[in-house]
Amino acid sequence: MADTGGNTVAEPTEVGSYFVANYPPFSLWTQEAVQSDAQLALAHQPAEVPLGLYLHIPFCRKRCHFCYFRVYTDKNANEVAEYLDALGREWELYATQPAIAGRPLRFVYFGGGTPSFLSVRQLQSLVDRLSAMSPWSDAEEITFECEPGTLTEPKLAKIREMGITRLSLGLEHFDDQVLELNGRAHRSAEIFRAYAFAQSLAFPQINIDLIAGMLGDTDEKWRAAVERTIELDPDSVTIYQMELPHNTTISSDLMRGTGQFTESVANWSTKRRWVMEAFEALEQAGYTVGSAYTAVKNPDRTKFVYRDQLWQGADLAALGVASFGHINGVHMQNLDQWGPYAAAIQRGEIPLSRAFRPTDEERLIRELVLQLKLGSVRPAYFGDKYSVDVLDRFSGALSSLRDDGYLMTADPDQIALTREGLLRVDSLLPRFFLPEHTNLRYT
């Protein structure tokens, strides 16, 4: 919903997906396409694009009330070991596929869940097994997500020794009441202790994650969180606006109208204002805003290879329960339940549950909408790759953005959003979708 006449429009945060992670919508992906498209894609020689590896570590000390990922908080040591063995077996299965065999890894991403939930011994064993199949010593970027309360000095030292280039600390906030209300496992004291450990080890990049609009947040608490972030002086800061996909604890309570969480999070206008204020404060501290979600201290040195390569059509082999990948032009997702996922690997099968092969036009739209999250795109990129003039092809969508005040420039050199457009970019991207996709269920 656009703001009009200079007035702030109250836009409640309703239950449902907001963040655009891919295109076309996931609801179009099917089990039938696993055989007709995904398996054929894996059996073909690789396209000339970079290859990355994603590892889903689905374990957490607690499940946050806003979490919608496939995570587990009740697995014992034996079950964790079984899962890590399955990850190793899955990568060994991938390594036999013509689309993957022998290819160097350009980037690696440990996501979750909480990768830092694992012990030092478990981490070392997993890395040794995976890197034996495909060495990643030459990878441009290796990212490792962490929850502060799971970090010790020996564990951080081991993570650094593994060659991690970006340590991503999921702080979300600094206020202990906000952290508790939202179900976070850590508290502020653990943040400062873990950050000091990490700084002493000289990681090439330390990233801090924040979430604007968590339950219990206020103007005063948010400004304090931004001030503390700047005091820590991280290499990059990632800020998300709180959303409420259907499978979260908060969403469940809101839909029933009963339970602990019967009041919604901050409205979208408030969240955008908070991110705007954070970006302005970070810019005053010398940071550069690089996307709708990120600010970096040194753009020449600090990159997001994982993001940028994927948004330009790179291949991604995705390991673990419910993981999303992309190989040879086909999107694919793993089975999203522990038992079926592990059973498929035991049978020697890559554990795919659904897939989708986009058309060339859908691939073009996917890259355009994802790259618009950076705030600007180069029309020449799409002309060279797809032989399409995006200024002409998407003239209607661009005109609507201009009319609403969200488009700064649209010429042969650059299409650029205003700051207001950047802060609400996910709500604007459906304007570029094909008509048959605009009203589909996203997930």
Is 331 inside any structural domain? no
Domain stop point among 277, 292, 309: 309
pLDDT at 263 over 80: no
pLDDT at 390 over 60: yes
User: Please, are residues 236 and 207 in contact by the beta-carbon 8 Å criterion?
Assistant: yes
pLDDT at 78 over 80: yes
pLDDT at 250: 86
Is 354 inside any structural domain? no
pLDDT at 199 over 90: yes
User: Please, are residues 298 and 235 in contact by the beta-carbon 8 Å criterion?
Assistant: yes
Tokens 């994982």 sit on residue: 306
User: Please, are residues 187 and 231 in contact by the beta-carbon 8 Å criterion?
Assistant: no
Instruction: Please give the structure tokens belonging to residue 266.
Output: 């901050």
Least confident span in 179-193, 238-252, 281-295, 424-438: 238-252
pLDDT at 92 over 50: yes
pLDDT at 214 over 80: yes
- Dump the DSSP string for 39-99: HHHHHSPPPSS-EEEEEEE-B-SS--TT--S--BS---HHHHHHHHHHHHHHHHHHTTSTT
Q: Is the same domain home to 247 and 364?
A: no
Is 395 inside any structural domain? yes
User: Please, are residues 106 and 139 in contact by the beta-carbon 8 Å criterion?
Assistant: yes
Average pLDDT of the segment spanning 397-413: 98
pLDDT at 261: 83
Q: Is the same domain home to 245 and 159?
A: yes
pLDDT at 42: 98
pLDDT at 329: 97
We report the CATH number of the domain holding residue 87 as 3.80.30.20
Domain stop point among 287, 309, 331: 309
pLDDT at 190 over 80: yes
Q: Is the same domain home to 62 and 172?
A: yes
Q: Is the same domain home to 46 and 129?
A: yes
Whole-number Cα distances in Å, 212 to 145, 246, 397: 19, 19, 28
Q: Is the same domain home to 287 and 389?
A: no
Query: Beta strand 352-356 with 330-334: parallel, antiparallel or unpaired?
Result: antiparallel
Instruction: Please give the structure tokens belonging to residue 212.
Output: 């604007």
- Domain carrying residue 192: 26-309
Is 13 inside any structural domain? no
* Whole-angstrom distance, CA of residue 199 vs CA of residue 36: 49
pLDDT at 10: 60
Q: Is the same domain home to 116 and 241?
A: yes
Q: Is the same domain home to 230 and 375?
A: no
Q: Is the same domain home to 40 and 165?
A: yes
Q: Is the same domain home to 92 and 152?
A: yes
Average pLDDT of the segment spanning 359-376: 98
Instruction: Please give the structure tokens belonging to residue 90.
Output: 């899955």
Is 321 inside any structural domain? no
For the CA atoms of 178, 256, 58, 157, the dihedral, rounded to the nearest 10 degrees, stands at 0
Mean confidence (pLDDT) of the chain: 94
Is 16 inside any structural domain? no
Average pLDDT of the segment spanning 51-77: 93
pLDDT at 170 over 60: yes
Average pLDDT of the segment spanning 37-49: 96
Is 238 inside any structural domain? yes
Q: Is the same domain home to 140 and 286?
A: yes
Q: Judge if the upstream peptide bond of residue 24 is cis by omega within 30 degrees of 0.
A: yes
pLDDT band at 379 (very low <50, low <70, confident <90, very high): very high
Q: Is the same domain home to 47 and 121?
A: yes
Q: Looking at the 3D structure of the chain, how many domains does it have?
A: 2
Domain stop point among 269, 285, 309: 309
Q: Which of 324, 243, 181, 264 is nearest to 19 (CA)?
A: 243
| Between residues 311 and 440, the one the model is more confident about | 311
Is 301 inside any structural domain? yes
pLDDT at 333 over 90: yes
Average pLDDT of the segment spanning 77-100: 96
Q: Is the same domain home to 272 and 400?
A: no
We report the CATH number of the domain holding residue 401 as 1.10.10.920
pLDDT at 4: 33
pLDDT at 9 over 70: no
pLDDT at 368 over 70: yes
Q: What is the pTM of this model?
A: 0.95
Average pLDDT of the segment spanning 300-329: 97
